[in-house]
A and B are shown apart, each in its own frame.
Chain A
Amino acid sequence: MIDHLTQENGGALLKEDGGAISHDGFVSVTEVQIVGSRAFHYFTNTTTQELVRVPCTLAEYDSLAVQGAAQPSNGSGFVWVNSVKENEYDTVDGDLHDDQYAVTPSGHKVVRLSFFPPLLVDSVEADEIVNGKIDALKFT
């Protein structure tokens, strides 16, 4: 269950990216709020193969679902990959960052843990985050 963790420094668990988890397996997480939805188009740069994220309005996103809808374009040199609608959080860039969590309208908690690889846990029961800490080992 702890494939991504190594045990060093007198029993403290260290993540492979160097971050620390207390030896009891709990990590501190910070609550942020879901403030709405937002949408993006994703394109691949055919020269660099880099994935590029381009914001779009929710209306533009919803228009993709109508009959005969045009497919998003970002000009020549880019190939459309997909478009997504997702939660917007009250963070600087609207993203959910490592070791942050938010309560969804259904009462579940979505958590992003700074594991290697970073782990997004969609549905954490209410009693699994206690005093701002979560048992990280349950999700490795």
Chain B
Amino acid sequence: MAIARDATSSTSSASASSLTWAHTCTGSDRILIVTVGMDADTTCTATYNGVSMTEIGNAQRSAGGVKTFLFYLIAPATGSNNIVATLGTSTKVASGAVSYTGAKQSGQPDSFTATFNDGTTSFAVSTTVVASDCWLVGGTRMQDGLAEPTTAGGITLTEAPTTGAGQKTVLSDSNGTVGTGSQSITWGQGVADNISGVVASIAPAVAAGPTTVKTWDGVTQSTGIKTYFGVTTANVKSVDGAT
């Protein structure tokens, strides 16, 4: 089953120790990704509809602050529900969220990288993708968001500026599947400044494979199974009674 983007949302605050906004999830084999960017060296947790999200990783500049968190939740509740990001201190914070359908419902993320740079206009974050047909998704906190941020290797999904400050949190994805091996998202900011980010690969749901059964004539088949009555079907009762 192929991954498809479902919905995005974002919000920000000039100063908050907790930030709440709405996000709507629909479809099947869902996964929700949330990025939270802040300007303090602090902790962060996130919930969706009261369910704790799992942190994929976080990164901040070497001197602290300009920090990015990335979280995921498999099978988030459908409908419009609250995302709550809770920080260890009151700080400038901006967030983005994206939900997908067709995602594998265990073993996520496929891979991830969390890193930073203390002064660059072009910030590439690579991760080694393992599974076929993954999407990349990533969040970044950039110090200089006064110029329009850019995303290479994908598209910008949400861009949340912080009121009264130049910093921005940007959420991006690959806008499609990527190959296995090293893949990256590259963000650009206006001037060489601090930036941090987390990029993860999200694996697709595994399609229901053919069921292998031993038929009445003793032949093990996985497709086009012909029953004793000569009817070809995908759902047969085998000689041992199992369907």
Central interface residue in B13, B22, B82, by most chain A CB within 10 Å = B82
The answer to whether A82 touches B17, judged by C-beta atoms less than 8 angstroms apart, is: no
Q: How far is the CA of A119 from the CA of B11 in the complex (A)?
A: 19
Q: Which residues of B contact A69 (CB under 8 A)?
A: 49-50, 81-82
Interface flag for A49 (CB, 8 Å): no
Q: Which of A65-103 contact B (CB under 8 A)?
A: 65-69, 71, 80-87, 96
Chain A residues whose CB sits within 8 angstroms of the CB of B166 once the complex forms: 117
- Scan B149-191; emit 1 where CB is below 8 A from any A CB, else 0: 0000000000000001110000000000000000000000000
Say yes or no: is B92 at the interface (Cβ < 8 Å to chain A). yes
**Which of these, A61, A104, A118, contacts B89 with CB under 8 Å?**
A104
| Chain A contacts for B19, CB-based, 8 A | 82-84
Given contacts A67-B50, A123-B64, contact A87 B15 (CB under 8 A): yes
Chain B residues near A82 (CB, 8 Å)? 11-13, 19-21
A120 an interface residue at 8 Å Cβ cutoff?
Answer: yes
Contact A122 B18 (CB under 8 A): no
Tell me whether A64 and B20 are in contact (CB under 8 A).
yes
Q: Which of A84, A96, A106, A117 has the most CB of B within 10 A?
A: A84
Taking a contact as CB atoms under 8 Å apart, the answer to whether A86 and B165 are in contact is no
- Once the chains bind, are A122 and B65 in contact (CB under 8 Å)? yes
Residue of B18, B47, B84 with highest tally of chain A CB at under 10 A: B18
Complexed CA–CA distance, A58 and B181 (Å): 47
Kindly report which residue of chain B lies nearest to residue A67, judged by CB atoms: B50
CB-contacts of B19-60 with A (<8 A): 19-22, 39-41, 47, 49-51
Partner of B17, one of A67, A86, A108, A123: A86
A110 touches B (CB below 8 Å): yes
* B236 / chain A contacts, CB cutoff of 8 Å: none
Smallest CB-CB separation from B18: which chain A residue?
A: A85
Contact B11 A123 (CB under 8 A): no
- Chain A interface (Cβ within 8 Å of chain B)? 37, 39, 61, 64-69, 71, 80-87, 96, 104-106, 108, 110, 117-120, 122-123
Q: Assuming A69-B81, A122-B39, A122-B92, what are 7 further A-B pairs, CB within 8 angstroms?
A: A39-B18, A64-B84, A69-B50, A71-B82, A81-B11, A82-B13, A123-B64
